[in-house]
Amino acid sequence: MAFNYTLDIIAEKDPYPAYRWLRDNQPAHYSDVEDIWVLTRYEDVANAFRDWKTWSSTRRGNLVNDIPDRVGKTLGTTDPPQHTFARGLVNKAFTPRTVAELQPRIGALAEKLSRDAREKGEIEFVSDISAPFNAAILGAMFGVPDEDFIELRHWLDDFFVREEAPEGETPRQVVAMNRLRDYLNELADARLANAASLPEDDLMTAMLRTEEDGRRLEREQVVVTTMTFLVAGFESTNNLFTNLTHALALHPHIYDLLKQDLSFVPAFVEEGMRWDAAAQGFVRSPNHDVVLHDHVIPENAQVLLHIGSANRDERQFDRPDTFDVARDNTRHLGLGRGIHFCVGAPLGRAMPQQLFTALLDASDTWEIDLESAERVTTPNFRGFWRLPLRVGN
């Protein structure tokens, strides 16, 4: 059978049988329609994530058809030693303590949004829950005011779109990146202009201040890093939240189990990250020709490390298609692996854990309307841009 991987497969209702076919038949697949290689087995994907010396993030970036202007400037698109330096600084500014301190705020907000949802009965999950929740938590972390964040979130969505623009027009993703950068530059100016009265507790300020070995992050790097955090934070959490909401509607017995015992919520979130990965894949490019499964993947090729497929690999997980909150093996790749492992992971776990605990507690039904739902259409992420949900009568 001839098979050509296409980038829109991620937005299909059930792409998983196709991934399975690839794992069994063409684990190192070259799609000539997209000019991209796709690795789909757990072992290959995990090894490539770990082996940064072979698999570069900076040659072609880490997103499919990445925007050249950002490659080499963000955490996700640099290799050591540049990555080591920037990640060291970001780690300092983004400690587990930062997340621990945010926990009460996350909890209170999750409860308020859940109460409001219960009162309404029917909500649109993204605009009623996910966007305001992210605005108040991620926005606040970087000192972006709530009302600006709500506006900004559409640029965050557009950032991942890969559309050819009509002749003479700028592509949507580039417009979004430029707008975000202008906005964040103004924010950085305001921070620096008020250096004497800088609020201590936002991450942009912390990054503008932090020094290591007498070196600071360049101001442009702070702006680009903040942009990466907002983009990576909003898009991945929104996709994770909506995938969890969707998975729960498909598995009523899990809804019942969680309603009876909310202590299963963290396991539910973890299994959701495996079962329907929000970040379905990231790109790497080999620094030299690599021979894999009898194919030569040429130096500098664009290679998609397929997390969505690796997380369903039967060579790694028992009954991989079953959503099982009691699963023993939770070594999924939903947050990546190796030096680029998600720096926002503690927050990316804390937010859905608190949100779903509160929402489940407040709800007495869980029904989604797939007819009027709208799936995300980007080549890296899977989730929903619109997802109507009924949580009560």
Binding site for ligand HEM (CB under 6 A): 57, 62, 75-76, 87, 138, 228-229, 232-233, 236-237, 240, 278-279, 282, 334-336, 340, 342-344, 347-348
CB of 49 to ligand HEM, least distance (A): 6
Residue 349 burial (CB count, 10 A): 18
Instruction: Give min distance, CB of 163 to ligand HEM, in A.
Output: 22
> What minimum distance in Å lies between the beta carbon of 283 and ligand HEM?
8
Backbone angles phi, psi at 183, to 5 degrees: -60, -45
Q: How far lies 35's CA from each of 3, 171, 301, in Å?
A: 13, 20, 9
CB of 240 to ligand HEM, least distance (A): 4
Question: Which residue lies nearer to ligand HEM by CB, 59 or 121?
Answer: 59
What does the alpha-carbon distance between residue 153 and residue 376 come to, in Å, rounded to a whole number?
14
Omega within 30 of 0 (cis) for the link into 81: yes
Interior/surface letters 151-186, b for 16+ CB within 10 angstroms, e for the rest? ebbebbbbbbebeeeeeeeebbbbebbebbbebbee
Closer by beta carbon to ligand HEM, 118 or else 219: 219
As measured in angstroms, the least distance from the Cβ of 236 to ligand HEM is 3
CA 119 to chain centre: 30
The C-alpha atoms of residue 347 and residue 295 are separated, in whole angstroms, by: 39
Q: How far is the CB of 34 from ligand HEM (least distance, A)?
A: 18
For the CB of residue 222, give the shortest distance to ligand HEM in the complex, in Å. Answer: 13
Q: Which is nearer to ligand HEM, 21 or 325 (CB)?
A: 325
Query: Could you write out the DSSP letters of every residue in 194-252?
Result: TGGG--TT-HHHHHHH-EETTEE--HHHHHHHHHHHHHHHHHHHHHHHHHHHHHHHH-H
Q: Which is nearer to ligand HEM, 73 or 327 (CB)?
A: 73
Residue 22 CB, shortest distance to ligand HEM, in Å, is 19
Nearer to ligand HEM, 264 or 381 (CB): 381
- Convert 98-135 into a string of H (helix), E (strand) and C (coil): HHHHHHHHHHHHHHHHHHHHHHHCEEEHHHHHHHHHHH
Q: Are 325 and 268 in contact (CB under 8 A)?
A: yes
Closer residue to ligand HEM (CB): 377 or 390: 377
Residue nearest ligand HEM (C-beta atom)? 344
Q: Which is nearer to ligand HEM, 84 or 322 (CB)?
A: 84
Q: Which is nearer to ligand HEM, 138 or 248 (CB)?
A: 138
